[in-house]
């Protein structure tokens, strides 16, 4: 080994030890950390997003960050709204950013707690009669009834023709609802049962997979009205507990990597979030049926443009762009930390190597973009996912921690710094990371050992 290489290895070891000293892990059970935790909970059960984190994990994060009365919590990757819902339930103020129009809509609608549950239930009679009008109508007759099929590619691959006809009559009835707040909740109810109940897909694995629903007994009205009933039940409970009057919560339809145009009327003291993980899950692909059915997307170009702006897995043209050329690191810190891992992947697969580099470039840009909106003593917690790509372990927690640690200090009191992170679950590979502004050290959990490398999950995470 030559002297230069030996020196570089020594420096790399020292750096890794430095970060390892900042790392601890406490196990938090998977039933608390993932979407499974929200399935039976009030409000969280209105819409299922498989990559969501659990309400109990959000509670724990807010507790560890010591969120105080009057402080505002931010989730820059708000998804289906777990953080905003939990914050509001606890009477905290919260804001969220979400780039995907469907998930932004879900967030906003999930915070419509002032709607009177009786008024919501009252809509059911009218809507049942609207769905009743679909009887005997064939797909080809829709135009004569003033209805059009959502402009998604190959709609009958997504929906059985008879189901599609019923959904479209129901949707027209929902759109005709006068009160915009009630209308939003009814649309959310439709979005909540669209996948997987009414669409030719299964959520058995992380991504949507097409299935054949020929011969399945699917009662559109029963499925939809039962879900409206669940929402109305939850609204009643919220009223009984007075939760509908507590906490300010608002989700912005916003790219969290570019906050230059955003005018927030408050500073954020705590960030609780879970960015997309370095895997092949595309939020756009997985929300396409809802995006088109709710009228939030009209063209394939819109879908692919959104996919290009969204952090995380891609499909279609966004993927082909990633396969071209070599994506360079956006900073020397990223080059030093991510470069070696990416080169290992590049030896096997240029697309995935570019994907990983792009992922870290963007996540780093997003962390830096928050600088103007956080308070000097902001406490920041990110749940990140580690994964295996082409047999190479992507230790997102440690790598991101190292990058954040090396970020240039533009304003020493407002750039975040990782102080500790904790392993959440050894199979799901989620890790909770804490940052604070460089000048402060937050009340972080006890330091422990370095996270273990979990066994590869194979294609599920690639």
Ligand X SMILES: C[S@@+](CC[C@H](N)C(=O)[O-])C[C@H]1O[C@@H](n2cnc3c(N)ncnc32)[C@H](O)[C@@H]1O
Point out which residues bind ligand X (CB under 6 A).
49, 51-53, 77, 79-80, 82, 97-100, 103, 255-257, 274-276, 283, 310-312
Dist CA 95 CA 251 (whole Å): 5
Q: Which residues contact 115 (CB under 8 A, 6 or more apart)?
A: 179, 181, 182, 185, 235
- Sequence-distant contacts of 82-85: CB under 8 A, at least 24 apart: 82/38, 82/44, 82/52, 82/53, 82/54, 82/55, 82/58, 83/58, 83/272, 83/273, 84/110, 84/111, 84/249, 84/251, 85/43, 85/44, 85/55, 85/110, 85/111, 85/249
Q: Which two tokens stand for residue 380?
A: 């920041």
Nearest to 451 by CA among 366, 405, 393: 393
Q: How many angstroms separate the first and last alpha carbons of the chain?
A: 34
> Nearest to ligand X by Cβ — which residue?
79
Dist CA 382 CA 128 (whole Å): 44
Radius of gyration of the chain (CA): 23
Q: How far is CA 266 from CA 95, 286, 379, in A?
A: 10, 33, 16
Q: Which two tokens stand for residue 323?
A: 């396969």
Dist CA 359 CA 278 (whole Å): 7
Considering the complex, what minimum distance in angstroms separates the CB of residue 310 from ligand X?
Answer: 4
């Amino acid at each position: 080994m030559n002297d230069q290489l030996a020196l570089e290895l020594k420096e790399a070891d020292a750096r890794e030890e430095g970060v390892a000293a900042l790392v601890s892990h406490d196990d938090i059970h998977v039933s608390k950390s993932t979407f499974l935790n929200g399935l039976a909970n009030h409000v969280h059960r209105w819409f299922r997003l498989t990559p969501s984190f659990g309400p109990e994990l959000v509670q724990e994060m807010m507790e560890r960050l010591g969120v105080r009365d009057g402080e505002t919590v931010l989730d820059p990757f708000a998804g289906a709204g777990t953080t905003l819902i939990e914050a509001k339930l606890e009477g905290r103020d919260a804001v969220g950013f979400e780039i995907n129009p469907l998930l932004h809509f879900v967030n906003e609608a999930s915070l419509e707690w002032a709607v009177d549950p009786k008024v919501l239930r009252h809509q059911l009679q009218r809507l049942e009669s609207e769905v009743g009008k679909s009887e005997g109508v064939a797909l080809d007759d829709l135009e004569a009834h003033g209805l059009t099929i959502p402009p998604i590619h190959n709609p009958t691959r997504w929906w059985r023709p008879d189901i599609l006809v019923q959904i479209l009559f129901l949707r027209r009835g929902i759109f005709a609802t006068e009160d915009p707040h009630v209308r939003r909740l009814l649309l959310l109810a439709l979005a909540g049962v669209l996948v997987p109940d009414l669409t030719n897909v299964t959520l058995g694995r992380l991504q949507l997979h097409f299935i054949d629903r020929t011969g399945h007994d699917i009662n559109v009205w029963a499925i939809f009205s039962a879900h409206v009933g669940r929402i109305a039940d939850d609204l009643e409970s919220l009223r009984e507990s007075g939760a509908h009057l507590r906490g300010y919560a608002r989700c912005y339809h916003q790219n969290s990597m570019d906050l230059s145009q955003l005018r927030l009327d408050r500073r954020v003291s705590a960030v609780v979030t879970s960015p997309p993980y370095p895997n092949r899950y595309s939020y756009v692909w997985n929300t396409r049926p809802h995006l088109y059915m709710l009228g939030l997307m009209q063209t394939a170009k819109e879908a692919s443009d959104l996919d290009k702006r969204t952090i995380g897995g891609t499909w279609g043209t966004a993927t082909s762009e990633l396969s071209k050329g070599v994506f360079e690191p956006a900073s020397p810190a990223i080059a030093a930390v991510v470069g070696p891992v990416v080169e290992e992947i590049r030896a096997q697969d240029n697309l995935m190597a570019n994907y990983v580099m792009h992922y870290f470039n963007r996540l780093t840009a997003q962390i830096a973009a928050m600088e103007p909106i956080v308070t000097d003593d902001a406490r920041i917690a990110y749940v990140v996912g580690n994964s295996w790509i082409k047999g190479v372990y992507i230790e997102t927690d440690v790598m991101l921690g190292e990058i954040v640690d090396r970020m240039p200090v533009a304003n020493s009191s407002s750039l975040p710094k990782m102080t500790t992170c904790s392993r959440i679950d050894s199979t799901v590979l989620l890790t909770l990371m804490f940052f604070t502004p460089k000048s402060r050290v937050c009340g972080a959990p006890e330091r422990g050992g370095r996270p273990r490398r979990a066994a590869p999950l194979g294609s599920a995470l690639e």
